[in-house]
Structure 1
Amino acid sequence: MITISNIWRGTPINAYLVLQTRFKSKTHWAKLKKKSGPKYKALSHFDEFYGSVFGKQWEPLREALLRRSKYVAVVNNYGDTEQTMDYLSNRGAHCLKNLMSIQKEFHDKYNPQPNETPPEQSTEINNFDSYIAKLQSEEISNIYRQGENVPEKLELSDDRVLGSTPKNEDKQDRKSAPTLNQALEEAELDHSRIIEPSMGLSTEALYQYVPATKLKGLDEWVPESLHYSFMTNRDKDFPLVIEPETQFTYPEHLKVMTYEMNSEYDRFPEPKRCSTGVFDYYPMDCGSVVSVLALCLAPGDRVLDLCAAPGGKALVALQTLLPDVLVCNDASISRSNRIERIFRDYLMDYETGNKWQERVMITRRDGRVFTDDHGFDKVLVDVPCTTDRHSVMEDENNIFRADRVKERLRIPELQSQLLLNALRVVRVGGAVVYSTCSLSPAQNDGAVHAALRAAFQSHGIVAVVRDMSGPFHALSSTLKLGAGLVKPKYGQLILPDIAANYGPAYVARLVRIK
């Protein structure tokens, strides 16, 4: 009787080793399929795109993105606040407000800022008429050479307009132009396209001249250049001024705990229920806290969170105890339900207390067409984006899935439309904070630039970009901010870093002046 063991006994040992080596070198089909998933496509896309944008700095950014992210703890003012802060302090955490205060003193001592305002940050653009006069003077200087008699204004006669022909010449051209009937009489007909009745209605000649009304499949096609056009199109055909932010103050009642850079203990334990029935703190990315700080909230503010889900930033705004009214909007019903759950878990008597019904409202509208009759003092626009960290870590709900290509390419367009509407609903003198969790220049500065241009050209809205570099210097001991060639023009970029693995996040502050 022949058994398997007998077969193997008769097999030379060398053949056995070769057989084992051959099978060992093969990659399992499941692993090959896995590496073609959405998160691998996202990483490949970022390697190509961000590699060209950030150069040598992309490698450490890439390594940090693929590591576990870091969080801060937003202490709940409606729970056992003092006990929670003592508990987290004993675990090695520090108060973010204290760290920022110490870092600010250090920076002011060794890096004093000049009192003079740079010329490019002049505030004369606040007068809209002066901007129009500036455009007129630039147009005149382009026409007249230096030393000629330059008029104050361009007075154009009735008979001639710049770039056109005189009226009398135009009339002569119109007289000499043939009418439609004359043109038809003189036209030569193409008799080769005439189909004789004897050929029948089923002839193929009928189909040779039927014009195509639609190309099948192109209705869902979006060019990839649409995404990158928001990064390359930076024409300055609208008033654009960047001013330093001088009104920033850290909210007195906002308590955020964080660990130091390179700390061995950088993970907070799971939140617990307090004696009041709510959770003691809310863990979240520090970049999200920074976007709320950029609002520069004041007592009695009427605040709109245009894309509020899942509700973390709205909760941080309430923890400052400053807003009088907070409107949380999100178009998705399921995501809006997450806002409700967070408020139930962190706001005491949220379901039964009448005070919350007067202060907090949840709406479910498209942020691009959201309207309001009263106007808001502050608007937060945390727009949908490629969510870079999630895209390289998870396949579920990944924007780089094959069936979401069109959605991904249209992201900058959607972002600029949301920011444009935010500029419309904020009152004059109010502020809009635009934020993403992406490193993409097209989704960050590109979307801001497109929205500012559309706001001016379509609605006559003028907004000033407030540079938050000065106030955010105080965060340099807590997180890594983009600097030098990596620093955006309009906002602040929070970079992932192994020592402080927050972000990525982009935050820009705009103040409407007209």
Structure 2
Amino acid sequence: MFHISNICKNSSFSSYIVIQVRNKTKTHWAKLKRKTSPKYKALNHFDDFYASVFGKKWEPMREAMLRRSKYVAVVNNYGDAEETVEFLTNKGAHCLRNLMSIQREFHKEYTPEISNPIPENNTNKLQEYVDRVQSEDISSIYPQASDAPDRLNFTDKRSDGNEQTLQLNKSEMEGNQSQNYPSTDSQLDESRIIDPAMGISSEALYQYIPATKLKGMDEWVPESLHYSFYSTDKDFPLVIEPETEFKMPEHLKVYTYEMGSEYHKFPEPKRCQTGVFNYYPMDCGSVLAVLALCLSPGDRVLDLCSAPGGKALVALQTLLPDIVVCNDTSLARHNRMERIFSDYLFDFKTSNRWRERVLLRRIDGRIFTDDQGFDKVLVDVPCTTDRLSVNEDENNVFRPDRIKERLRLPELQSQLLTNALRLVRPGGAVVYSTCSLSPVQNDGVVHASLKRAFEDHGVLAAVRDLTRPMSALSSTLSLASGDIAPRYGQLVLPSVAANFGPSYFARLVRLK
């Protein structure tokens, strides 16, 4: 008799797990799209540019920039300062003043050979890269090699940096209007008009008419324009002196984790009993830019590009300036700066004392004027923000719609620094800072601004070499040295052990 049980006994069943695989060998479209996003464009650009300038030292910097950045904690003196210091110490953080003091004593006993030679090799590498970029631009503009010039002329592309370039020329506008909208009395050129009576088969329809002007050329900016601002010409008085006035402000309390420590991130700031936050986390390079001002009691300070206000807040934490003027053109950044001051300065919105000490302005930094002048001016200019550019797509300067803005950054930076040299009083100091590794935006802009300030305004300024004072930070962060060291300023390099920066700052003192 046939039973189903006999089949079950005599048969063996095997179980299989079926996994559905879709597009096994095809890359997802989202991954392909990410490869062309602004942050990937920025990384590819830096791989090409910085590898040519820094050589093998670029790879560790690249790795560090793609990792989480490191911060220091600036203790808020307008909150519970002593309690905050105890809290940070228990977290394993060290006082930056103590670290610098220990390193300074070590250098006194074992004097290091501090030298800041002119990086000729670095300059040659940069010049080779600039020549290559300009050659590529020439090839794209002039496909036929016979018509190609040796170099591109950027005299028409650059502005002269005067205030007149920031305003519309009324006569020029009227001239353009007369060209675009001719009067009724003017005669029209009919030599190129095809008479409809000739018919569709007329040979005139097939005649080649060469273009006399490319409409979009006035808006087009070649890539090599960005690098044309870098120059080493010495056709103006160039003075470089060692810095002798640098010292850590007594009341400024900055805490950091030691180099190579597993701890790199501070807890979120908390409100004190006074209602303000207990400390402000920020990059150590930004703190050094404020220290380079060498603030004195009663100083009148200008932060020309202040937003979001971190550096101005550090200056106020020294308890030295009498007046701090914070300027920024963007309304959104201006409002953010005001919120930060409200979060860290007790009774900021209601106290008349703060209204007299902290003055907020919204003026283009290139045309900022002041009758009284300033003792110290900080110019933290807009730049390529290297770390942000390789990690974030939002508001990235490498976006396609910001190409012209990015290529003209050195021009904007030079105009801001030149105006800062005009605003500072004789004997006062200007600190120029960026968050970029680019020699064009760093030393290149400083050199161009010193030259422009002397030739256009008769302002003579000296570069103060901060190499020796900053050597006390050798156990805290990584500073560029040797053939990659900048000539005029200090460059904080990103590193895995101390992932600050990138940050560049240079101190200039006006002589006359």
**Shorter-chain TM-score tier:** 0.7 to 0.9
Match of 2:418 in 1: 420
Contact 1:496–1:504 under 8 Å retained in 2: yes
1:362 is aligned to 2:360: yes
| Separation of aligned partners in 1, 2:28 and 2:278 | 47
d(CA) in 1 for partners of 2:367, 2:383: 19
Q: Are the structure 2 counterparts of residues 86 and 217 from structure 1 closer, same or farther at C-alpha, using a change threshold of 3 Å?
A: same
Note if 1:42 corresponds to 2:42. Answer: yes
**Poorly superposed stretches of 4+, deviation over 6 Å:** 117-120, 193-213
Name 2:289's counterpart in structure 1.
Answer: 291
Distance (whole Å) between structure 2 residues aligned to residue 201 and residue 342 of structure 1: 73
Q: Letter of the aligned partner of 1:502 in structure 2?
A: F
| Structure 1 residue 219, shift from structure 2 partner | 2.8
Q: Distance in 2 between matches of 1:438 and 1:347?
A: 30
2:236–2:454 contact (8 Å) kept in structure 1: yes
Letter in 2 for 1:47: D
How many matched pairs? 422
Query: Does structure 2 retain, via aligned residues, the 8 Å contact 1:464–1:510?
Result: yes
5 Å-filtered alignment, 1:428-439, equals 428-439=426-437
Matched AA of 1:84: T
Separation in 1, partners of 2:286, 2:391: 19
- Letter aligned with residue 394 of structure 2: E
* Structure 1 match to 2:299: 301
Following TM superposition, by how much is the alpha carbon of 1:199 offset from its aligned partner in structure 2, in angstroms? 8.7
Aligned letter for 1:224?
E
CA distance in 2, matches of 1:206, 1:23: 52
Opposite residue 79 of structure 2, the aligned amino acid is G
- Aligned-pair distance for 1:259? 0.3
Tell me the TM-score normalised to structure 2 length.
0.78
Which has the larger Rg? 1
Cross-structure match for 1:226: 225
The equivalent residue for 1:183 is: none
Deviations 1:436-456 (A, max 9, x none): 000000000001111011011
Q: Give matches, 1:347-386, under 5 Å.
A: 347-386=345-384
1:107-138 superposed Cα distances (whole Å, 9 cap, x missing partner) = 12211689xx9999xxxxxxxxxxxxxxxxxx
> Gapped runs of 5+ residues in structure 2?
1-17, 119-188
1-structure distance, mates of 2:365, 2:206: 47
Distance 1:332 1:213, change over 3 A: farther
Q: Offset of 1:309 from its aligned partner?
A: 0.3
2:219 and 2:479 map into 1 onto residues whose CA distance is 38
Separation in 2, partners of 1:41, 1:206: 44
Q: Distance in 1 between matches of 2:207 and 2:325?
A: 59
TM-score using structure 1 length:
0.78
CA 1:374 to 1:112, structure 2 compared with 1: closer, same or farther past 3 Å?
A: same
Q: 1:451 to 1:204 in 2, by over 3 A?
A: farther
Distance in 2 between residues matched to 1:118 and 1:484, nearest whole Å = 7
Instruction: State the one-letter code of the partner of 2:335.
Output: N
Query: Contact 1:295/1:378 (CA < 8 Å) preserved in 2?
Result: yes
* 1:223 Cα offset (Å): 1.3
8 Å CA contact retained: 1:239, 1:462: yes
Q: Following the alignment from structure 2 to structure 1, what is the Cα–Cα distance between the partners of residues 364 and 224? A: 26
Distance 1:91 1:31, change over 3 A: same
Opposite residue 227 of structure 2, the aligned amino acid is Y
Secondary structure, counterpart of 1:435 in structure 2: strand
Cα deviation digits, residues 25-69 of structure 1 (max 9, x gap): 221111101111000000000000000000000000000000000
Closer, same or farther: CA 102–217 of 1 in aligned 2, 3 Å: same
Deviation at 1:220, TM superposition (A): 2.0
CA positional deviation for 1:201: 11
Structure 2 residue aligned with 1:403, among 401, 406, 409?
401
2-structure distance, mates of 1:221, 1:315: 40
Change in 2 beyond 3 A, CA 1:449/1:207: farther
C-alpha spacing 1:421/1:195, structure 2 compared with 1 (3 Å): closer
Query: Which of 265, 268, 272 in structure 1 is aligned with 2:266?
Result: 268
Distance change >3 Å, CA 207–CA 366, structure 1 → 2: farther
| 1:212 positional shift | 6.6
Structure 1 residues 261 and 119: alpha-carbon distance in aligned structure 2, compared to 1, 3 A threshold: closer
Deviation track 1:330-378 (CA, whole Å, cap 9, x = no partner) reads: 0111101111000000000101111101100000000000000001000
1-side partners of 2:194 and 2:382: how far apart?
A: 62
Structure 2 equivalent of residue 451 of structure 1: 449
SS at match of 2:453: helix
1:324 and 2:322 matched: yes
Counterpart for residue 465 of structure 2: 467
Which residue of structure 2 aligns with residue 137 of structure 1?
A: none
Distance 1:208 1:332, change over 3 A: farther
When residues 229 and 119 of structure 1 are mapped into structure 2, their CA distance, relative to the original with a 3 A threshold, is closer
Are the equivalent residues in 1 in contact too, given 2:116–2:487 (CA < 8 A)? no
Asked if 1:502 is matched to 2:503, the reply is: no
CA shift, 1:486, in A, is: 1.2
Distance 2:280 2:256 in 1: 12
**How far apart, CA to CA, are the structure 1 residues paired with 2:511 and 2:293?**
16
Aligned partners of 1:305 and 1:326 also within 8 Å: yes
Aligned-partner Cα distance in 2 for 1:207–1:461: 61
How many Å separate the matches in 1 of 2:259 and 2:431? Answer: 27
**Closer/same/farther in 2, CA of residues 211 and 269 from structure 1, 3 Å limit:** same
State the partner residue of 1:241: 239
**SS in structure 2 at match of 1:26:** coil
* Alignment partners' CA distance in 1, 2:192 and 2:473: 83
Match of 2:485 in 1: 487
